[in-house]
Amino acid sequence: MAFDTTDVILSLVKIAIVLAMMLQVTPIMAWVERRGSALMQDRPGPNRVGPFGLFQAFADALKFILKEDIIPARAHKWLYTLAPAIGLLPALTTIAVVPWGRPFLLAEREVGGRILFEGGRWFVPVVADVSVGILVVFALASFSVYGITTAGWASNNKYSLFGGIRASAQMISYELALTLAAVSVLLATGSLKLTDVVWHQTGTFVLFDTLRLPAWNVLSPSMWLSFIVFVVAAFAETNRLPFDFAEADAELVAGYHTEYSSMKFALFFMAEYMAMASMSAVIATLYLGGWDIPWYNEPPTFLGFLLSALFFVAKVGFLLFFFVWIRWTIPRLKYDILMRLGWKVFLPMAFVNILLVAGFIAMRWI
């Protein structure tokens, strides 16, 4: 196995960019959530640290680090300590297979007597363009169950245990709906590669001979059902309200992280926001055209890449705001309603949509 130095460096640059973006998500989202909730509840929210409370997140981080690190006497010490890190792994890694901009050509140039990018080289803005992209996403998404369940069990606390058990049942139930909803998209694309999924959504199509719409999956007449299933399942996967039964502060104190304090708690907090960001990126890629700019053909240059990357970030940003918006708008469901909804409504809906898309393709409508 030979490595090309340019490839390795480009790869490391991509990893650095992605990690920088992902680590920013938590402070920004913590601010957006607190100020957003304040806005929706007609109160000021955090406004003392920095302009508009913008530095609140840094103050919080400092406090998290300086607080006492408690390991409860009855807890399983190793698993209790490892659980937050286990939760962080999938949340931070999922984004690796998601493309975040239009590929562009790096022209051959000479720097300090060495020829760089010989004969031109394509820069594909995705950390790992693997052929089974979507399977990696789901593999890592199901991995995130372990962090929460381990935390719940290892804490040796009734509230934690209930939170962890509930979360595992909820997440595996909705994972089913999630994977099945994605099958519809794969049917239309004919590939598991996420870069192919985005390429398939570039360009436009004409609806009813009048409207010229971007070829995004969400706008396709056969796909909106699976879009609804996927978004709702994404909420359940990331344990966000109205499906936050892993925490359920009103019933379970704080659910699986009742016993966690200081930085260990902060890691769960980070993992939750990063999981939200990766989920938003996956939704944007599968249904909202990824980095595609509507009614515009991005040139294969650095400018085209930059514009498309900005558009991708804007889409993810909107979805993240949507998460916050829903959280402060819809109250928590009851657990039996949650399970019934997942198995009796969303599962059949996903199946119906698969048959619908398959039928559409067989009739050569899409």
Partner 1 sequence: MTHSYLPILIMLAIAAVFGATFLSLNWVVGRHQRNPSKLDPYESGVPLLDVNRKRVNVRFYQIAMLFIIFDIEAAFLYPWAVIYREGALSSRATAMFLFTEMLVFILLLGVGYVYVWKKKAFDWK
Nearest-10 Cα torsion for 256, 258, 262, 263: 0
Nearer to partner 1, 328 or 351 (CB): 351
Q: Which pair of structure tokens corresponds to residue 82?
A: 């490892």
Nearer to partner 1, 179 or 308 (CB): 179
Output the CA angle 272-325-159, nearest 5 degrees. Answer: 45
Tell me the sheet residues that pair with 214. 204
> CB of 201: closest distance to partner 1 in angstroms?
14
Nearer to partner 1, 30 or 96 (CB): 96
> CB of 6: closest distance to partner 1 in angstroms?
14
> CB of 226: closest distance to partner 1 in angstroms?
12
> CB of 134: closest distance to partner 1 in angstroms?
8
| Residue entry with tokens 């709906």 | 177
| Residue entry with tokens 């819809």 | 330
Residues 245 and 239 sit within 8 Å (Cβ to Cβ): yes
Write the burial class of residue 364 (CB in 10 Å: 0-12 exposed, 13-18 middle, 19+ buried): exposed
Write the burial class of residue 321 (CB in 10 Å: 0-12 exposed, 13-18 middle, 19+ buried): middle
Taking the C-alpha atoms of residue 282 and residue 286, their distance in angstroms, rounded to an integer, is 6
Nearer to partner 1, 140 or 324 (CB): 140
Nearer to partner 1, 212 or 340 (CB): 340
CB neighbour burial string for 169-186, b if at least 16 within 10 angstroms, e if fewer: bbbebbbebbbbbbbbbb
> CB of 248: closest distance to partner 1 in angstroms?
14
Nearer to partner 1, 53 or 133 (CB): 133
Nearer to partner 1, 205 or 335 (CB): 335
CA 232 to chain CA mean position, Å: 13
> CB of 36: closest distance to partner 1 in angstroms?
26
Taking the C-alpha atoms of residue 337 and residue 242, their distance in angstroms, rounded to an integer, is 11
> CB of 331: closest distance to partner 1 in angstroms?
18
Q: How far is CA 366 from CA 26, 184, 286, 342, in A?
A: 39, 12, 16, 29
Nearer to partner 1, 304 or 342 (CB): 342
Amino acid at 310: L
> CB of 234: closest distance to partner 1 in angstroms?
16
- From 136, 31, 153, 22, select the one nearest 80 (Cα to Cα): 153
DSSP state for residue 256 in the 8-state scheme:
G
